[in-house]
Amino acid sequence: MVVSDLKVLASPAYKNKIINPYNFLLYSHMSKLGVVVRDFELNMLFLSSWDIWHLHWPEGYLNDPSIVRASVLTGGLLGLIQCLKLKGTKIVWTVHNLRAHEGYHPKLERKFWELFTELLDGYIVLSETGRLELLKRYPNLRDIPGFVIPHGHYRGVYPNAIPKEKARRLLNLPLDAVIVTFIGQIRPYKNVPHLIRTFSMLNDSDVYLVIAGKPSSYSLEEEILKLSRSCGRVKLYLEFIPPEKIQIFLNSADLVVLPYSEIFHSGTALLALSFNRPVLVPNRGAMYELQRAVGRRWVRVYEPELTPDTLEYAIDWALKTTRPREAPLSKFDWENIARETVNAYRIILQK
């Protein structure tokens, strides 16, 4: 299928590739179908007409601690949406989160979502669970087109040539140890301090915990450093992990643990699975749906919160479960996701 007459603004499209290649992968595959996709910039309002403005993470401005800046920026976003709607552009939201992660401005946030959801012409959610949660929170969205289109995998996106033994040598980890890994930006809701406390209660001296990612605040970094001092088997790499080094942390791991206190969807879980690493996640959001799609040999869920027993059983599961060489990720191929997204645009444009 090739479509040459669709013009799409995306926020973002390509410019966040290094931090999160999700958008780059989506729109690169969409471009192969003939769709014109550009990163949103103010001058784009006047240079051309656009069929779709596709927004991701519109709540991002609400993560600014300053109520003044958050108010001005969210108000500006809503104003720009109204301008484009007057020009005939359809507004589409991909629902990565149902609320801002930091929760700094609850009153402003409630008003923002009320106004934002009224301006939408269509939405995309990454799972059926996400669709149900979205419509429960914002029932007015039942009146516009909605589509379930999954998050794509990251297989082949990052370098992946370093074997386990070499990866462990690069991290100065014992070759015969069991390595439990957390990777990704460290924010309060990702519950890393709780993971360290839980891990420290394990008695097995042959199990190590690797924490790889940049904390979102100085206070969170200090808490993690303080907790790790009491357990010599916790290894910290508290910095942004560049794309070429992701393979070192994932290929050295026996189990990837994502102990989030809140989770809707998880690109990091798909990243770990793209490197064929088993994943332990809470039974929240769409994680059970991910387990059904990939299989119980690759995804293990727990509830209500991570405990030493839960972690110990998961380590035993990760080591003793027989798995194929690769996690089955065909459902998450980007070619199909791009086609489904273009089809969603077509339906939205007909309304």
For residue 224, what pLDDT is reported? 97
For residue 204, what pLDDT is reported? 86
For residue 343, what pLDDT is reported? 97
- The closest alpha carbon to 54, from 328, 351, 338, belongs to 338
For residue 5, what pLDDT is reported? 83
Q: Distance (Å, rounded) from C-alpha 94 to C-alpha 344?
A: 11
For residue 262, what pLDDT is reported? 84
For residue 4, what pLDDT is reported? 57
Residue 168 contacts residue 178 (beta carbons within 8 Å): no
Domain 7-152+333-350 bears CATH identifier 2.60.40.3880: no
| Fold held by 164-331 | Rossmann fold (3.40.50)
- Strand 122-125 and strand 90-95: the pairing is parallel
Domain borders along the chain are: 7-152+333-350, 164-331
Instruction: Extract the tokens encoding 122.
Output: 């269509």
Q: Distance (Å, rounded) from C-alpha 95 to C-alpha 265?
A: 9
Q: Distance (Å, rounded) from C-alpha 61 to C-alpha 75?
A: 10
Q: Which residues of the chain have pLDDT under 50?
A: none
